[in-house]
Structure 1
Amino acid sequence: MRRPRLRVVPPGAGMLAAEPEAPFIVHVAGERELLQAVTSALGLGVDLRQEDEAVVAASRRDLERLATALEVEGAEAGRRLRAFLWPVRGWRLRTRVLPLERAVVMGILNLTDDSFSGDGVGRDVAAALRAAESLRAAGADLIDVGAESARADRPVLEPAQEAEIVARAVEALVREGHAVSSDTYKPEVARAALAAGAELVNDISGLTLGTRAAAEAARAGAGYVLNYSYSVPKRRPDSPPVYEDVVTETVAWMEERLEMLWEAGLEREQVAIDPGIAFGKSHDEDLQMIRRIGELGTFGMPLLLAHSRKNFIGSVGGLPPAERDLETHVVSALAFAQGVRIFRVHDVAGARRALEMAAAVAAREAGAFAPGEGSWPWRAGASAAHMTRAEPAIAPPPGQRW
């Protein structure tokens, strides 16, 4: 099994809330002797039982000390650990930066008639504008526009044809003030969409077709989504992929592909990482990936989850795609608690509600929803004897905290 140079397993949000010094588990491949010497000097432990990697368990504060000491020694692990400890705070797109303190919701707009979930609007630009306005009104930050179904059983569009369809729609959407993402792996389409005003390229290819689409994003100063993919788009491999540890191997895959993106001219703030749910994994492996998606935070870069209505949900509950929004929002909330901040969904309004609650539980400081002045006197001294009427004697105050 190929291992990444660095992989961080973070403690859960609940553990960190209860114990700020809770340990992170850091796996480091290579540099074993140097790591042993540096951790010894810092009074930290290191586990060298595995031949090909060392493991350090330490609090964030101790990891900051470790990163600094390793960087002084010129160790690659120090640079990588620093990237994790000081992550990107805003996703830089072509004309704007999206802060990542809150959830970013990407609404799906399919310019197709063969979407797997049956929600495509076809080639009608007026219909696309209506759909986009509904998504924006529901709380979408981005409109992700695609003109070709990712399904392997649907036709591949010629690049020139797809570029024309996408450019026409993107230009109209941008004119109406929408921030647009171009869902394409074809450089010709990416170029046309960016020229029409798109903010980023959402590339499902995982660089299996090269870095030309990524280079278009770099040339335009736009954002880019690196999506895990086991094979080229719209083609299923003859044999199913075999993973020893799907999450560790995905982290290693990302590490390799990110180097390719830097060579193509992209910068860390421009790139979001997508684990590629439904791209070269069984449904069980999709669930494993979501269960441990926080490990993709190793790179300290924006994390995007494109899981909406996908078939792993059908394997769990047996429902058809159009009836999977509730399960989608459950997964979104669980992923938010692990550090994911960008969500590509069909039901934007439901996503916003779920993510607002997830943020309240997993990311807000103690006291954020504490009672304010005047909240305690409401119904003070109430007892069962007071509840003989259908309505309370005193209406609850707005934002009631008791």
Structure 2
Amino acid sequence: MAIVNRTTDSFYAPARLADDGAALAAAHRAWDDGAAILDVGGVRAGTGPAVSAAEEIDRVVPFLARVRQEIPQLLLSVDTWRSEVAAAAIEAGADLVNDTWAGHDPGLVEVAGAAGVGVVCSHTGGAQPRTDPYRVAYPVADGADAGDPRDGVLHDVLATLRAGAERAVACGVPPSSVLVDPTHDFGKNTWHSLHLLRRTPELVALGYPVLMALSRKDFVGETLDLAPEERLPGTLAATALAAWHGAQVFRSHDVAATRQALEMVAAVRDEAPPRVALRGLA
């Protein structure tokens, strides 16, 4: 899943693609590099200047329509928490609604269900849209079957994603088009995000495709003490780990590098052959 942010203030500067020409070129490059999905957002996830629903629509909907026309094979996703934006994006050709704020607008999944498009169910620990976490905490897991005491965040994520997925299906979203995203960094500190990564198998066990939005995020940066521009190696390490444990969709600023990491994991898991295998044979 490639990323195009139709903003001027995204945390990773190269992803700021408010210019129409630059954004369209990025979409074509993502397709050429092997992206299957293009995720288009019109509002920075974190704090920043207010963006109305009308302005968000202006930023993303004409662009989605243009990409649908020029790259019809590319699946299109709209990154929004607003039902009116989702409805306009679907009309323009969006195949998927990436609800990164965990059902803040309860009408959003109803819009997706009525249109029969896919939806990404996320977890934010109750955080409001466009807020940053502050001293967020989850209960310590205890009891005979508690496992790791740090699993409090995992249990909250699993319960939220399960409920979100069930509601999506009840609203008409095809079960095969429901994705779940533990949503690293949103409503979580770095310890929480790292723990969710190591608990990927439990997320996969929910039975829905797991989307991992790991790309250059703060938990990678804080783990390695690096700025967003320097976080690609750490992102790829996290990506490989999650892929090994069964995650299926990866939201990425770096499509070609991510594809290579995923292909390597697939080959080691004996799920895909090497592209070329001549050493010692010819």
Give the TM-score of the pair, scaled to structure 1: 0.63
Does 2:79 align with 1:183?
Answer: yes
Deviations 1:55-80 (A, max 9, x none): xxxxxxxxxxxxxxxxxxxxxxxxxx
Tell whether 2:102 aligns with 1:206: yes
Q: Read off the aligned partner of 2:167 and give its amino acid letter.
A: M
Q: RMSD of aligned C-alpha atoms? A: 1.7
Q: CA deviation at 1:257?
A: 2.4
Give the CA deviation at 1:239: 5.0
Matches for 1:3-402 after TM superposition, within 5 Å = 106-151=1-46, 153-177=47-71, 178-210=74-106, 212-230=107-125, 231-236=127-132, 239-244=135-140, 245=151, 246-364=153-271, 399-402=277-280
Residues 2-42 of structure 1, C-alpha deviations (whole Å, 9 max, x = no match):
xxxxxxxxxxxxxxxxxxxxxxxxxxxxxxxxxxxxxxxxx
Q: Does the CA-based 8 Å contact 1:209-1:232 persist in structure 2? A: no
Structure-2 separation of matches of 1:156 and 1:121? 17
How much has 1:126 moved relative to structure 2?
Answer: 1.7
Q: Structure 1 residues 239 and 208, CA, compared in 2 at 3 Å: closer, same or farther?
A: farther
Tell me, yes or no, if the aligned pair for 1:302 and 1:342 is still in contact at 8 Å: yes
Instruction: Decide whether aligned partners of structure 1 residues 363 and 273 sit closer, same or farther in structure 2, where only a CA change above 3 A counts.
Output: farther
Higher helix share: 2
Letter in 1 for 2:197: I
Distance in 2 (CA, whole Å) between partners of 1:283 and 1:206 is 19
Cα distance in 2 between the residues matched to 1:253 and 1:227: 8
Residue of structure 2 equivalent to 1:101: none
- Percent identity of paired positions between Structure 1 and Structure 2: 36
Given residue 399 of structure 1, which amino acid in structure 2 is its aligned partner? Answer: A
Aligned residue in 2 for 1:102? none
C-alpha distance in 1, partners of 2:135/2:216? 25
Q: Distance in 1 between matches of 2:95 and 2:234?
A: 29
Q: Secondary structure at 1:114's aligned position in 2? A: coil
| Aligned equivalents of 2:165, 2:278: Cα separation in 1 | 47
Secondary structure of 2:14 counterpart: coil
Aligned residue for 1:326, secondary structure, equals helix
Change (3 A) 1:121 1:234: closer
Structure 1 CA distance, aligned partners of 2:81 and 2:175?
20
Deviation at 1:338, TM superposition (A): 0.6
Q: Distance in 1 between matches of 2:89 and 2:68?
A: 11
> Match of 2:205, SS?
helix
Output one character per residue of 1:92-146: Cα deviation in whole Å (capped at 9) or x when no partner. Answer: xxxxxxxxxxxxxx01111111010112344322221111111111111111110
Alpha-carbon distance change, 291 to 238 in structure 1, aligned in 2, over 3 angstroms:
closer
Question: Whose radius of gyration is greater, 1 or 2?
Answer: 1
CA gap of 1:332–1:120, structure 2 versus 1, over 3 A, is: closer
Q: CA deviation at 1:238?
A: 6.1
Structure 1's unaligned 5+ residue stretches are 1-105, 370-397
Evaluate the alpha carbon distance shift between residue 156 and residue 148 of structure 1 in structure 2; reply closer, same or farther with a 3 A threshold: same
Retained in 1: the 8 A contact 2:114–2:171? no
Question: In the TM superposition, what is the alpha-carbon distance from 1:259 to its structure 2 partner?
Answer: 2.8
CA deviation profile, 1:204-260 (whole Å, cap 9, x unmatched): 1111332x1111111221111011111121124665232322212211222222232
Q: If the length of structure 2 is used for normalisation, what is the TM-score?
A: 0.89
- Provide the secondary structure at the position in 2 that maps to 1:399: coil
Which segments of 5 or more consecutive residues in structure 2 lack a partner in the other structure?
141-150
Question: 3-state SS of the aligned residue for 2:251?
Answer: strand
Q: Partner letter of residue 206 of structure 2?
A: F
**8 Å contact kept, 1:125–1:172:** no
Q: Within 1, Cα distance between the matches of 2:177 and 2:277?
A: 38
What is the letter of the counterpart of residue 221 of structure 1? G
Aligned mates of 2:75, 2:163 — CA distance in 1 = 30
238 and 334 in structure 1: CA distance in 2 versus 1, 3 angstrom threshold? closer
